[in-house]
């Protein structure tokens, strides 16, 4: 028997729309899921945005105040897709109100924020899922399985890159993303948070880091009104960019492996150039987000001059079979969020954690905080211990 679960979406920018579409599609791909999400309320403070979302996607109601959602008995689960500085307040309040939460990374501005949300979720006995979507790619899940079974030997080092040009234009509007108080640590929280999650997912916990950061576009024009996505504000009053455009970080893993993580939001010529290369004592694995469904695999006993094969993931890899019937049929970004929604809803139905959890968010945020401290001091820094 399928039960209905009332859901709300708090914040309706691009990510709010992606969450909403995932709820709408999840039963198409997972018809045996015992929970049917019902769109109850959309929250957005920009006048007119919530109303347009309700008309397009079928939310039963709208509000500009997320506190009404916390008090609404019809809502059992909440997607928190508001700006970073609101994550802690909204996340804690929703958990304390007994709502399960699907919250976007990086879960606040610091590890302390992420820990506060995680503690509230644990105390309330609700479920919490975090938006680390790249780990949901079937090729990434296959890479993790191959590493675990020893296909590349003992992992020795990993290189993770996250380059994008979304902030490269000097007329890009000075939104909350570029303010320390509201956006946090810039590209660290935005892109490097995904890189840290991939590093941990593939190779385990990170023991210490040393990092360097930079701001390459020091001023941006202030927008005259509400903005969506990464809009421009030509002619606006210039204001200072307060957080990082770029980070380069060396990683030491608890296993003894080494890593390099590099992320930049102002990389001219790069659009979503995300991926990794994992090397081991007997082989290697390569993944590029822009070739989402392919995995480069080098394995064997030759060590030298060993070829790399391109493997197209198929129905037996990760969640691929819920979307396509055969290998090399393409999946896309939004499909990764459908997988996330499925695991979130299934975790509620079964009462067990599935997918990326608040613990993952806290441990990842501790690494990001260590990166920021290292960039200031120039030293190797160990992430704060997380229980």
List b or e across 96-119, with b for residues whose CB sees 16 or more CB atoms inside 10 angstroms.
ebebbbbbbbbbbbbbebbbbbbe
The predicted-structure confidence for 142-180, as pLDDT tens digits, reads as follows 999 999 999 999 999 999 999 999 999 999 999 989 999
pLDDT score, position 231 = 83
Share of the chain above pLDDT 90, in %: 95
pLDDT score, position 233 = 86
Domains of the chain, CATH where assigned = 3-133 (3.40.50.720), 134-327+356-377 (3.30.360.10)
pLDDT score, position 377 = 97
The predicted-structure confidence for 93-123, as pLDDT tens digits, reads as follows 999 999 999 999 999 999 999 999 999 999 9
Whether 27 contacts 58, CB under 8 Å: no
Residue 1 has pLDDT above 90, yes or no: no
List b or e across 142-153, with b for residues whose CB sees 16 or more CB atoms inside 10 angstroms.
bbbebbeeebbe
pLDDT score, position 27 = 97
Hey, what long-range contacts does 219-223 have (CB within 8 A, 24 or more apart)?
Answer: 219/170, 219/174, 220/170, 220/171, 220/172, 220/173, 220/174, 220/178, 221/171, 221/173, 221/174, 222/173, 222/174, 223/173, 223/174, 223/175
Query: Phi, psi (5° rounding) for residue 42?
Result: -115, 135
Residue 387 has pLDDT above 60, yes or no: no
Average pLDDT value over all residues in the chain: 96
Secondary structure of residue 39 in the 3-state scheme: strand
Reported pTM: 0.96
Neighbours of 47 (CB within 10 A): 9
The predicted-structure confidence for 239-284, as pLDDT tens digits, reads as follows 999 999 999 999 999 999 999 999 999 999 999 999 999 999 999 9
The predicted-structure confidence for 33-82, as pLDDT tens digits, reads as follows 999 999 999 999 999 999 999 999 999 999 999 999 999 999 999 999 99
DSSP-assigned letter for residue 304: S
Extended strands (E) in the chain:
3-10, 35-43, 61-63, 77-80, 100-103, 128-130, 155-163, 206-214, 219-221, 238-240, 246-253, 258-264, 273-280, 284-288, 294-298, 309-312
């Amino acid at each position: 028997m399928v039960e209905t679960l009332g859901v709300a979406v708090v914040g309706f920018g691009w990510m709010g729309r992606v969450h909403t579409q995932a709820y709408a599609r999840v039963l198409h791909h997972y018809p045996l899921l015992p929970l049917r999400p019902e769109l109850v309320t959309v929250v957005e403070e920009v006048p007119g945005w919530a109303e347009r979302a309700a008309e397009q996607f079928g939310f039963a109601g709208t509000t500009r105040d997320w506190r009404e959602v916390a008090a609404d008995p019809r809502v059992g689960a909440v997607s928190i897709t508001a700006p970073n500085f609101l994550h802690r307040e909204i996340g804690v309040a929703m958990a304390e109100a007994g709502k399960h939460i699907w919250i976007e990374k990086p879960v606040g501005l610091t590890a302390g924020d992420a820990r506060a949300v995680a503690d509230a979720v644990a105390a309330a006995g609700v479920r919490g899922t975090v938006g680390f979507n790249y780990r949901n790619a079937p090729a990434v899940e296959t890479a993790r399985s191959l590493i675990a079974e020893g296909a590349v030997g003992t992992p020795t080092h990993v290189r993770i890159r996250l380059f994008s040009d979304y902030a490269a234009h000097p007329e890009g509007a000075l939104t909350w993303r570029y303010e320390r108080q509201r956006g946090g640590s810039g590209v660290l929280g935005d892109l490097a948070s995904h890189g840290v999650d991939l590093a941990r997912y593939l190779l385990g916990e990170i023991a210490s880091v040393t990092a360097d950061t930079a701001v390459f576009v020091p001023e941006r024009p202030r927008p005259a009104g509400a903005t969506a996505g990464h809009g421009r504000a030509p002619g606006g009053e210039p204001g200072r960019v307060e957080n990082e455009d770029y980070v380069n970080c060396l990683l030491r893993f608890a296993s003894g492996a080494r890593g390099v993580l590099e992320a930049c939001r102002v990389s001219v010529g790069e659009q979503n150039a995300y991926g990794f290369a994992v090397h081991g004592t007997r082989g290697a694995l390569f993944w590029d987000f822009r070739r989402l469904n392919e995995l480069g695999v080098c394995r064997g006993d030759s060590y030298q001059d060993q070829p790399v094969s391109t493997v197209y993931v198929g129905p037996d890899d990760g969640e691929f079979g819920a979307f396509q019937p055969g290998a090399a049929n393409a999946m896309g970004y939004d499909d990764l969020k459908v997988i996330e929604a499925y695991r979130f809803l299934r975790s509620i139905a079964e009462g067990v954690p599935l997918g990326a959890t608040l613990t993952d968010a806290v441990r990842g945020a501790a690494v990001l905080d260590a990166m920021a401290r290292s960039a200031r001091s120039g030293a190797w820094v160990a992430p704060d211990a997380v229980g």
